[in-house]
Amino acid sequence: MLRPIVVLKNVKREGRGFSKGELKAVGISVRETKKLGIAYDKRRKSTKEENIKLLKEFLTKARKN
């Protein structure tokens, strides 16, 4: 399962899931995340460019296969 990078007090760690804004920026619906194996966290509100880039890379690899 693909998970985002979360920064908390200058410490990077693996997050619970991507926010709705990050998924929307890439063009994925919440329903499609389950099919693609992408974690979704309904509590997160922030959007991070780092996570959007991670999602775009994942989607290009997934669509090639």
How would you write the pLDDT of the chain (65 residues) with one tens digit per residue? 999 999 889 999 999 999 999 999 999 999 999 999 999 999 999 999 999 999 999 999 988 87
> Which pLDDT does position 63 carry in this prediction?
86
DSSP count for the chain of H helices, then E strands: 3, 2
Q: Report domain extents, the chain.
A: 5-64
Greatest extent of the chain over all pairs of C-alpha atoms, in Å = 38
| Position 6, amino acid | V
